[in-house]
């Protein structure tokens, strides 16, 4: 297989949650550039992503769904993807949320909403997509983990718990499904300049402390996760299973 073919996603269908902005949009555009058609899921419109994918020359379909409140939409999401796009080869579970607060004041609602979106919905998206992928004998699942899959963090209890769970679920699914032709891996983004980290970026002391530890000497961008996403979705990674791949500018190596 040529080097180009190893990274070629022409004819593949990618289903991506949280693709309307930030890291999800960066992942969607990278997959589209590699040849994949994109089905995006989000609770708000993805018009900007749709326009950018269309400019690349790939098909795009949007499914509006709230995965923080309930897992009820999941079966319909996969069914609509198969009906409209004609297949499903790649699942990227990127939708996520965070709540910050002191442990002594952290609410049950902030715990439940983050755990539902970041972990429960992710698992059941894997389950629903995995049923189809098992039937066709192939598929790539990419979950979005975090530095908090490896570290404890501060003031983000439900986020840390959920992202630690993402790492565990990723390994579990890889153990069960690798022999069925399905690769399950995760990307652990470092500190990215997105809406999710606005509170940190706007806190001078925390922002300076974070930047001083990153060997690359900058915050990451959505484009930085694109290469890792294509790698884990493409034939080049067919023997990569259960990996939590940091894309962190060297943070964990420090």
Name, in order, each residue with C-beta under 8 angstroms of 157's C-beta and a sequence gap of 6 or more.
101, 103, 106, 111
Token readout for 63 is 């499914």
Tell the residue number behind the tokens 């297989």, with chain if given: 1
Q: Known catalytic residue: 191?
A: no
**Distance (Å, rounded) from C-alpha 30 to C-alpha 160?**
27
* Distance separating alpha carbons of residues 174 and 99, to the nearest angstrom: 29
Among 159, 191, 231, 251, the one annotated catalytic: 159
145/150 Cα distance (integer angstroms): 9
Kindly list the catalytic residues.
Answer: 159
């Amino acid at each position: 297989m040529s080097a180009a073919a190893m990274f070629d996603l022409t004819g593949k269908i990618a289903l991506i949650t949280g693709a309307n902005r930030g890291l999800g949009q960066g992942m969607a555009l990278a997959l589209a550039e590699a040849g994949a058609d994109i089905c995006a899921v989000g609770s708000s419109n993805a018009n900007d992503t749709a326009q950018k994918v269309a400019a690349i020359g790939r098909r795009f379909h949007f499914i509006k769904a709230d995965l923080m409140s309930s897992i009820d939409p999941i079966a319909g999401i996969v069914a609509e993807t198969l009906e409209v796009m004609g297949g499903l080869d790649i699942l990227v579970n990127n939708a996520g949320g965070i709540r910050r607060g002191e442990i002594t004041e952290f609410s049950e609602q902030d715990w439940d909403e983050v755990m539902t979106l970041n972990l429960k919905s992710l698992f059941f998206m894997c389950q629903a997509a995995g049923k189809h992928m098992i039937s066709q004998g192939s598929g790539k699942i990419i979950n979005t983990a975090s530095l908090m899959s490896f570290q404890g963090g501060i003031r983000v209890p439900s986020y840390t718990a959920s992202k630690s769970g993402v790492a565990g679920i990723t390994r579990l699914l890889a153990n069960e499904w690798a022999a069925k032709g399905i690769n399950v891996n995760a990307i652990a983004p470092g500190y990215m300049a997105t809406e999710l980290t606005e509170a940190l970026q706007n806190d001078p002391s925390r922002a300076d402390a974070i930047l001083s530890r990153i060997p690359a000497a900058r915050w990451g961008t959505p484009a930085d996760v694109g290469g890792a996403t294509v790698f884990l979705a493409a034939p080049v990674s067919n023997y990569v299973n259960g990996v939590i791949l940091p894309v962190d500018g060297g943070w964990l190596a420090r």
